[in-house]
Amino acid sequence: MPEVFIDGKRYEFEGDHMALQYMLDQGLEVPFFCYHPSMSIPANCRQCMVKAGQYMKNDETGEYELDEEGERKIRWFPKLQTSCALKLSDGMVIQTQETSDEAERAQKDTLEFILANHPLDCPICDQAGECPLQIQTYKYGPEGSRFEVKKVHKPKRVELGPRVTLDAERCINCTRCVRFTEEISESHQLTIVSRGDKNYPITAPSETFDDPYSLNTVDICPVGALTSTDFRFKARVWEMNQTPSIDISNGKGCNVDLWTRDNEVLRITPRQNDHVNDYWMPDESRNAYKLFNENRVSRPFIKLDGDNQSNSSWNNAIETFAEVLEANDSSDILLIGSPHASVEENYTFNKFFNLLGAPNARFATHIIDGYGDDFLITDDQAPNTSGCRLLNLDESSSSELKTAVSQAKVVITLGDDLIDRDVLSVSDLEDPYVVSLATNHNEMTKASDLVIPITCVAEHAASYVNIDGRIQRSFPAKETKYSNRRLNLEMSEGRLDRFGTNFDNWVNEDNKVDCLPVWEFLNKLAERLGLEFEYRHSREIMTEISEKLDTFADVSFERMDEEKGIQLPIKQSKVEQK
């Protein structure tokens, strides 16, 4: 098997490898800026330079040539090599900054060169705390600068488009952003203008950087030259908690991280999953954070007279709900599940009312034909349409649902605004008693007689099946009135959570929504009705589902965590970039 020697240690490899990626895969560290594993290799930042050579072999015998001390002779390449563009070969010898003074000095000199015109505005830069240039300067850079003349100033606070702002003087010409628009999104909206120390990325004159994936350039910018217009100056990375989750704005189920502070989600960024979204996500999916913070249903609402709704206690809401169920025949109850709700929510919702004798739940898909782009934006606007189908809920068209509503005396809906998306109208819901289990106020909750607040994807652990049949799960990122970050071992804890106090200005109880997971509310309703129904955690629900439904066999939260989701035995389509 081919062998390579890195910093004096022997490694075996198969296939084609570039030295930098191979070393990163082995857990070794080499600094870099312009390299990205999903894009082409320009080798223009020069930060990943290493000393490289080849063991010498005798042309006739094929044996390694030995020196006077019996060691293999090395023919060093005449100059240092950029490891990102250096292809491994059998017998190659590489020395990184760990063992080569030349490589260490080259990296230090490169950083000094990059910093010659880079503004030292780390205290106000939005990238501070997660800036590779800042980190590598501390680890590999010079202690000072020999640059004593005035720095070159480039354009600042340039709004490239509706979502991205450029501070050009921070740019180090890594070209990641330009290559992204050329190779990944293929919009070709960015290019590098000017030469030498005056160059920076920009759009063509009068053009706007409105690429539907434009914010990915912010994620991969290594120096804070490109920043999110929406997120600028909102928070610093060390003030926030980072929690893995799933995008719920369409059917792809991109893996994301939710960044929270003071119990509010402040931004959403992509999380790498080669099976689903690689390193990317659409811009529109990042706006979902507003749904987690704003216009939330907090405490139950009940319609007392006319169209007037008012807050109610949980006890009154449970008692009212129970009385409605007891006063009506189970065959007169219509259940409407939701592709916007999780597998666990739809399963417990359907099971609970089935135990009372109600017919199987229906659901209406949320598909806009032609909306998708064959990359990460899909026609399906819901995160769990496949999950509803696999749970055997009855898929219904708008006309079928209207007919069913007209024949029902009680309509119970789960987390779906059927009015806003024209499946039902307000007039359809005038006669039956309508109960909505909802996360946000919307047209559906306005038309409801009883509104039960439930947790959203940012507040519970639950799973969703994407359009390709991959089941993935979320983690709770926000506390509710009834959950505690320090007691829930699944919730991330940041510095402020550990060391802050209730007197600090970042602690605000108003940001905690008064809501419950669906299964916890149904537990309370079951207790009132004398029904045998109780779940302590969504993990228990998934265990039950995996035991009862063959399609979910062997599915568990543990496997989803270890394998970054599980491909269920249904149709699978490969993620393709444009």
| DSSP one-letter string for 293-314 | HSSB--S-EEEEETTEEEE--H
Q: Phi first, then psi: what are they for 562, rounded to 5°?
A: -70, -35
pLDDT of residue 501 exceeding 80, the answer is: no
Contact between 551 and 390 (Cβ < 8 Å):
yes
Structure tokens at 137: 């300067």
Sign of the C-alpha dihedral computed for residues 545, 248, 365 and 294 taken in this order:
positive
Q: Is residue 496 scored above 90 in pLDDT? A: no
Q: Where in the chain is the domain with CATH 3.10.20.740?
A: 3-111
Average pLDDT, the chain: 94
Give CATH 3.40.50.740 domain extents, the chain.
301-458+515-567
Kindly report, residue by residue over 351-376, the tens digit of the pLDDT.
999 999 999 999 999 999 999 998 99
What stretch of H or E contains 419?
none
Look at residue 84 in the predicted model and tell me its pLDDT. 97
Kindly write down the DSSP assignment for every residue of 216-274, as one continuous string: HHHHH-SSSSEEETTTTTT--GGGSEEEEEE--SSTT--EEEEEEETTEEEEEEE--BT
Give the residue with greater pLDDT, 121 vs 49: 49
Tell me if 535 sits within 8 A of 519, measured CB to CB: yes
- Residue 76: pLDDT over 60: yes
Listed range (76-80, 251-255, 483-487) with the worst mean pLDDT: 483-487
CB 278 within 8 A of CB 268: no
- Each residue's pLDDT tens digit, 520-549: 999 999 999 999 999 999 999 999 999 999
3-state helix, strand, coil in the chain (%, to 5): 30, 20, 55
- DSSP letter at 211 equals -
| Residue 576 pLDDT greater than 50, yes or no | no
Q: What is residue 505's predicted lDDT score, i.e. its pLDDT?
A: 63
- Kindly indicate the confidence band of residue 60, based on its pLDDT and cuts at 50, 70 and 90: confident
Query: Please, which residues have CB within 8 angstroms of residue 111's CB and are 6 or more apart in sequence?
Result: 47, 136, 137, 140, 141, 142
C-alpha dihedral (541, 547, 553, 559), degrees to nearest 10: 50
Q: Could you tell me where in the chain the CATH 3.30.70.20 domains are found?
A: 117-228
- How many residues are listed for the chain in this entry? 578
pLDDT for 574 equals: 45
Average pLDDT over residues 22-39: 97
- Residue with the bigger pLDDT between 494 and 281: it is 281
Predicted pLDDT of residue 466: 96
Q: 463: which strand partners?
A: 473
pLDDT higher than threshold 70 for residue 178: yes
Does domain 301-458+515-567 fall under CATH 3.40.50.360? My reply is no
Can you list the positions of beta strands (E) in 429-562? 433-438, 450-453, 463-465, 470-473
Instruction: Return the CATH number of the domain spanning residue range 117-228.
Output: 3.30.70.20
Mean predicted confidence (pLDDT) in 434-460: 97
At residue 304, the pLDDT reads 84
pLDDT in tens, 404-417: 999 999 999 999 99
Whole-number pLDDT of residue 572: 52
What pLDDT score was predicted for residue 577?
Answer: 39
Q: What is the pLDDT of residue 575?
A: 42
Can you give the pTM of this predicted structure?
0.93
What is the rounded end-to-end Cα distance, in angstroms, of the chain? 37
Rounded to an integer, the average pLDDT of 554-567 is: 96
Query: SS3 for 165-177, per residue?
Result: EECHHHCCCCCHH
CA distances (Å), 403 to each of 234, 316, 357, 368, 392, in order? Answer: 48, 31, 20, 22, 20
Residue 346 in tokens: 């739809």
Q: What is the pLDDT of residues 273-305, one digit of tens each?
A: 999 999 999 999 999 999 999 999 999 999 987
Is the pLDDT score of 571 beyond 70?
no
The mean pLDDT of 97-108, rounded to a whole number, is 96
- Domain 3-111's class? alpha beta
Crossing angle for the helix pair 518-529 and 343-355, nearest 10 degrees?
Answer: 10
Residue 468 has pLDDT above 80, yes or no: yes
Residue type, 571: K
The amino acid at residue 454 is: I
